[in-house]
Structure 1
């Protein structure tokens, strides 16, 4: 099975490209060999998420894969920090397409190989990244828009709608910063910390915007919220979660009677809450394999 992903993308070139983006992102891109990939966030000075991306380090550039509509904002943010850096930022959204293949059975992909690989598929070169979107690692394929028909034809399984992929993601307990509406939260509150279902953090990589807040949270371990699960029918997306009239969290996307949510840590499985006025129950969030 494979699913088209609504996407936007940036390409960074220039001698300082790795060092420059390293000083902006939460994860350690410099620590991976080319080709390599890491999930990361770009934070504000209060440590809150502004953007989520998957960063690919290649021999001649850095490729940032983002959700749809995110590239323009991240471009503006990055350009504010260019002073003497030798780096060029190009929005390549219109030139590229991305699909997620649910398993690693992709012609040309080495399932025992590195997390990022370039190989031939459909008459052109594709960039693949091992990504866990459903509880089982699959492959994100990035390729030129003009090769889209040929790449789709080369994939052995049929197309599966995005809504089905989203339902599998929610069941697996894997957050999506944009689709769950978690922009503006702290990474530790929504499952993005080290050991979470979608780790984006390195606490040893050096300075970046928001790093002081992240270091303080690591030292004190005092985030008041964490990623949780809500159970209920027809729960509204991105709504406040309340208990006894007090706001205790924020719901993400809803699918098949489940929602992921940013919840106060004192809530326990079985607690009754309301999501935008709709009754729900706090469920147990089963651990899933970490994103790779």
Structure 2
């Protein structure tokens, strides 16, 4: 089950019956015990995989989390309770978790109230309370908080924390200069393009953040990048070029898909991805389209305007 992917580092493929359905956890060897990187979602299937990989009595020194998405933190509490290992996450990750917890605590609607941000942009109908409850389900109090550009011991190796927002505002990669290994989380994936979502107006321009983050890691001499999903990355610069090209292609399709009278993000997503009716099944396509639209708006190529309670985007001539 554990597959060695770099010196002293083993990959564990963790499956669960929902969402992405698979995540790469990493087990890093050390004289004081192993360090675990990311956990998988909370599911009995995932717990069984960890139990088989780490038999009773295995010394776990710490659990490190790259960002606060549920498929990366869902088993953090269980791993801490089972192996008596402290949980480490960035201060930004902890603040993200606290933000959604406060929103749920302050929420006064019920499960019939739909998330207004999505509705304003022509997105799918989703219960706002259910969305907040889902995010809050994996909440925990961390044992240690990390900052950007911090040296951290992972097993017998010394890694540097690198803030890489885009996929999430709190995403961090971790880089070992001595072995030229990058723990990439969901920042760069080899088999698919990472989701760059936007969940509210306050998140600004996540695709712009993502491009800046790609520039940051593109400067590092990396022999292997270990992603949060899918296969290992042996040519990081090439993969970064491919990811950028994919976004540029989709943004060109967006510009071509805007109607003469203007279109919502949901309407543009239907044109770009070729589906007939917006639904929860197309949430990822909607989120990616909206993030790219906001990037194009910041570049002066689109302009959004409020029209009958919805945001409509038009081309700027």
TM-score, scaled to structure 2: 0.30
- Higher relative strand content: 1
- Higher relative helix content: 2
Answer 1 or 2: higher relative contact order, Cα 8 Å, separation at least 6: 1
**Structure whose CA Rg is larger:** 2
